[in-house]
Amino acid sequence: MNHPIIDETHDTARQSWVEAAQDHADFPIQNLPLGIFSREGQTPRGGIAIGDMILDLPSLTLTGLLKGEALDAASTGMNKTLNALLALGPAPRGALRRQISALLEKNSPHRREIEPLLVPMADARMHMPAFVPDYTDFYAGIHHATNIGKLFRPDNPLLPNYKHVPIGYHGRASTIRASGAPVTRPSGQTRAPDAQAPSFGPVKRLDYELELGVWMASGNALGQPIPIADALDHVAGLTLLNDWSARDVQAWEYQPLGPFLAKNFLTTVSPWIVTMEALAPFRRRQPPRAKGDPRPLPYLWDDSDQRRGALALDLEAYLSSVKMREAGMAPLRLSHGPASNMYWTIAQMVAHHASNGCQLQTGDLLGTGTISGPDDGSRGSLMEITRNGKQPVSLPTGETRTFLEDGDELMLSGRFVAEGAIPIGFGPCIGTVQPALTAPASR
C-alpha cells in the first residue's frame, strides 16, 4: 500500500518567502495542491497553490530548476487537464512536491527566478482539475444513511447490506463543475404526497450534500481487480464535493433502480487537488466498528488500512441568502463534523469498485457520499437538518429554510488539523442557486 512519508515538506518550521503563505488557512507551503487555472487571454494550464498565489507549472519547466521525475511531472502541466500528471503515479508527484517546496522555501536562493512565475489567485480563473471519464458516488457516511433511513423506515433505517458492502451508484461525469459554477434549479417530474398524478416543473426541494471527492491517479485493466492493499497507490488526492440533489424528484423516481435525474444535473468540486503526499500527517486509525457489526469480507479488509484509513479532517457547510449578503452578514454554519464519520475507508471504496473487474481510469472521480455526524450540528444535508422539511432552519435575517431557495449561496470547506502538523485545506467549494430555466417553446 502507498504510505506517503512525512518528510521535510511537512516540517512545521518550514516557511515560504511567499508572504501570503504564512498561516494561510488552506495553502501554506506544507500543502502545495494541484489545479488548472487560466488568466485572461491564456489557455488553461497546470498550477500549484501557495498562499493566495498560483505557481505557473509550464513557465517553471523553462527555468531549468526542476530535475528528473519532477521535471517530467511539471511538463504535463502544459496540458489543459491534470490527467497526464495524475497518471504518472506517486513517485513523480512526490518528486515534484519536494523540489517545488525547496524552491518556495524561505531561504531558497531561487526566489528571484520564481517570483515572476506567481499569478495572483484574484487574477486567475479556476477550471476542473482533470477530465472526468466516469463518476461514482458512494454512501459511506453511516450517520447520513441512518438519518435518511429513519425518515422513511423508522424501525429499520439501515438496510441489511449496508455494513457488508460499500454502496454506490454511477453518476453523470458530464455535469461535474468546479467551484463557482452556477447551480441552475433543475426541473423534473415529481408527485406531491396528496396528488393522484405526477407533474413537471422546477424542483422545490433542492438540497446539498457535504462530501469528499477522490481523484483516481491510475486505473486497472478491464477484468483485473485492485487489491485493497494497493488501492491508495491508485489515488492521487482529494477535493471537496457537493452532490446537489432534488429531493422531490428523488422521492418519486428512486425506486426500483436508485438515483437518476435527482442527482445528475450538477456536481460541484473544489478546484484544487490536495495530494496524498500532503495528507501524510493527517492519516489516522479508522474508528472501530460498533460491537456486533460484521467484519468485512477479506477483499475489503487490510490491517494497514484500518490503522491509517481515516483522515484528521474537519468539514463544514455554510449558507448565505441574498438578504444576508446585502446586509453584510456572515454566512450561517449549517453543519460541522469530522470526516472520520465515514463507515468505509477510501481504500475499501476503491477496492470494492474494481472487485468485479470494473475498469477505473485516470481522472475518475469517486464521491464518498454525504458525511454526517450523530448530532444535530453535524448533519451534512438539509434533508437531515430539517427532518425532510418539517423543522425549518432560521437565518439571522428572520428568513427560514427547509430547502435551498433561488439566490442562496452554499459553501463547503474542509481543514486537515492534527497535532504536530500545519493545518491545510482545500479552498472553497461554492455554488449559488439560479432560477430554473424556462423550457423552450414546442414547435
**With contact defined as beta carbons under 8 Å apart, do 243 and 171 qualify?**
yes
How far, in Å, CA of 360 to CA of 327, rounded?
47
Cis preceding linkage at 225, omega within 30: no
The response to whether 153 counts as a known ligand-binding position is yes
The response to whether 81 counts as a known ligand-binding position is no
Read off the C-alpha cell for 196: 393522484
How far, in Å, CA of 3 to CA of 133, rounded?
26
Read off the C-alpha cell for 97: 512536491
HSE value, Cβ hemisphere, 13 Å, CA-based, for 215: 34
> For 310, left (φ over 0), alpha (ψ -120 to 50), or beta?
beta
Q: Let me know how long the chain is.
A: 443
The response to whether 370 counts as a known ligand-binding position is yes
For residue 250, count CB atoms less than 10 angstroms from its CB and return exposed for 0-12, middle for 13-18, buried for 19 or more.
buried
How far, in Å, CA of 281 to CA of 272, rounded?
19
The response to whether 61 counts as a known ligand-binding position is no
Tell me the CA distances in angstroms from 346 to 122, 203, 307, one per residue in order: 33, 32, 13
Tell me the CA distances in angstroms from 378 to 315, 321, 382, one per residue in order: 9, 21, 11
The response to whether 243 counts as a known ligand-binding position is yes
- 110 is known as an active-site residue: no
The response to whether 209 counts as a known ligand-binding position is yes
The response to whether 177 counts as a known ligand-binding position is no
**With contact defined as beta carbons under 8 Å apart, do 85 and 77 qualify?**
yes
Question: Among candidates 54, 72, 69, 74, which has minimal Cα distance to 114?
Answer: 54
Catalytic annotation, pick one of 24, 144, 352, 353:
144
Q: For residues 83-96, b (16+ Cβ closer than 10 Å) or e, as one string?
A: bbbbbbbbebbbbb
- Can you tell me whether residue 149 is helix, strand or coil? helix
Q: Count the neighbouring beta carbons within 10 Å of the beta carbon of residue 340.
A: 17
Signed CA dihedral, 42, 236, 315, 434: sign only = positive
The response to whether 115 counts as a known ligand-binding position is no
The response to whether 254 counts as a known ligand-binding position is yes
Please name the amino acid found at residue 414: G
**With contact defined as beta carbons under 8 Å apart, do 361 and 155 qualify?**
no
Whose cell is 431557495? That residue is: 405
Read off the C-alpha cell for 106: 524561505
The response to whether 263 counts as a known ligand-binding position is yes
Whose cell is 500528471? That residue is: 85
For residue 380, count CB atoms less than 10 angstroms from its CB and return exposed for 0-12, middle for 13-18, buried for 19 or more.
buried
The response to whether 139 counts as a known ligand-binding position is yes
Annotated binding site: 137, 139, 153, 209, 211, 243, 250, 254, 263, 267, 370
Annotated binding-site positions for Ca(2+) = 137, 209, 211, 243
Binding annotation for substrate: 139, 153, 250, 254, 370
Q: Looking at the annotation, which residues are catalytic?
A: 144
